[in-house]
C-alpha cells in the first residue's frame, strides 16, 4: 500500500511539472531547421523512433528529431532566418536544442529530469526500473556480445553538448548532459560531463545547481587535477554567494 501511495505521489508531481512545462513558450511555427548540406555518414532519428535512417539534404529537422554525424562526417543546418549551424563529426543533437531558454525554464526541466532519475519502489522497498520514455528520448543500447552498455552514443551526446555551448545554447547543453547521465549512468565520460554541466550552470548564475555537480565529482574516484579543479569551483561559488 505504501508503495502505491508513493507511486501516486510521484506521478502527481511529474504531472504538475509537465503542466508547468506545457505552459512555457513553445516553438513558434516559424522555427524550422533544414539540413542544408551533409558530408559522410549523417543520420536522423524521427520522434520516439529508435532507428537511425540516412539523412537527406533538404529535409526538415523537427524539434522532436535528432541528427547524428559519424566519424569524419559533417552536416550544415539552416534556420529560417538563415542562421547556419555547422555540425562537426561524432555529434548527436536534437532539433529542439537550437534555442535559448531562461533560467526558470531550465530549472523546471532539470526538476523533471530529476523525477525521471529516481526509481520507484515496491512495497518491499525494491527499486522498480522506470519505463518512461520522453518524446524523442533514446534508450541506452546494449552490446549483444558483451552485454555491456555501448557508451559511443553517450560520448556523441556529450560532444553535442559541447557544440551547443559553443553556440551559446547552454541550457540545452545542460539538459542534454543531464539526460545522458540518466540514460548512461556508468562510464568514464561521466566526470568530464559533470564538470562541463557545472561550468555551464555557473555561467548562467545557477550556482547551487552547479555546486551539485562539483560535489558529485568529488564523491567519485577522480584524479588529483580534477579534484583540485572541482574544489576551486566550489570555493568560487561560495565566494559569489557570500557577496
* Rg over CA atoms, the chain: 19
Per-residue pLDDT tens for 21-45? 444 454 544 478 999 999 999 999 9
Q: Would you state the pLDDT for residue 221?
A: 92
Q: What is the mean pLDDT of residues 196-219?
A: 95
Mean pLDDT lowest among 91-95, 101-105, 193-197, 235-239: 101-105
Give the residue, 243 or 186, on which the prediction is more confident: 186
**pLDDT exceeds cutoff 70 at 199:** yes
User: Over pLDDT 70: what percentage of the chain?
Assistant: 74
Determine the distance from the C-alpha atom of residue 88 to the mean position of all C-alpha atoms in its chain, rounded to a whole number: 18
Q: What are the distances in angstroms from CA 62 to CA 4, 67, 104, 201?
A: 38, 10, 24, 27
93 is a domain residue: yes
pLDDT value for 142:
53
- Whether residue 17 lies inside any domain: the answer is no
DSSP assignments along 214-241, one per residue? HHHHHTS---HHHHHHHHHHHHHHHHHH
Q: How many domains does the chain have?
A: 1
118-135 mean pLDDT: 42
Contact between 75 and 34 (Cβ < 8 Å): no
In a domain, 38, yes or no: yes
Query: Is 78 contained in some domain?
Result: yes
Judge whether residue 92 has pLDDT over 60: yes
- Is 173 within a domain? yes
The reply to whether 195 falls in a domain is no
Domain that holds residue 113: 2-10+31-138+153-185
CB 57 within 8 A of CB 36: yes
> For residue 197, is it within any domain?
no
Residue 101 counted as domain residue: yes
Quick one: pLDDT band at residue 241, thresholds 50, 70, 90?
confident
Amino acid at each position: 500500500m505504501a508503495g502505491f501511495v508513493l507511486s501516486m505521489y510521484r506521478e502527481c508531481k511529474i504531472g504538475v511539472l509537465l503542466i508547468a512545462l506545457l505552459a512555457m513558450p513553445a516553438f513558434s511555427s516559424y522555427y524550422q531547421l533544414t539540413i542544408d548540406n551533409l558530408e559522410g555518414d549523417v543520420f536522423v532519428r524521427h520522434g520516439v523512433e529508435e532507428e537511425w535512417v540516412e539523412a537527406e539534404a533538404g529535409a526538415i529537422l523537427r524539434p522532436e528529431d535528432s541528427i547524428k554525424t559519424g566519424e569524419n562526417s559533417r552536416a550544415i543546418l539552416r534556420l529560417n532566418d538563415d542562421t547556419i549551424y555547422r555540425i562537426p563529426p561524432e555529434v548527436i543533437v536534437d532539433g529542439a536544442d537550437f534555442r535559448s531558454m531562461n533560467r526558470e525554464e531550465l530549472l523546471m526541466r532539470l526538476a523533471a529530469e530529476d523525477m525521471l532519475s529516481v526509481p520507484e519502489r515496491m512495497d518491499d522497498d525494491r527499486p522498480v526500473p522506470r519505463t518512461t520514455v520522453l518524446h524523442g528520448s533514446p534508450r541506452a543500447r546494449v552490446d549483444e556480445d558483451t552485454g555491456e552498455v555501448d557508451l559511443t552514443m553517450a560520448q556523441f551526446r556529450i560532444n553535442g553538448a559541447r557544440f551547443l555551448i559553443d553556440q551559446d545554447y547552454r541550457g540545452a547543453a545542460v539538459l542534454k548532459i543531464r539526460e545522458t547521465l540518466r540514460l548512461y549512468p556508468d562510464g568514464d565520460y561521466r566526470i568530464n560531463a559533470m564538470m562541463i554541466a557545472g561550468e555551464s550552470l555557473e555561467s548562467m548564475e545557477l550556482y547551487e545547481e552547479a555546486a551539485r555537480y562539483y560535489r558529485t565529482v568529488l564523491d567519485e574516484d577522480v584524479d588529483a587535477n580534477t579534484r583540485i579543479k572541482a574544489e576551486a569551483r566550489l570555493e568560487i561559488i561560495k565566494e559569489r554567494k557570500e557577496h
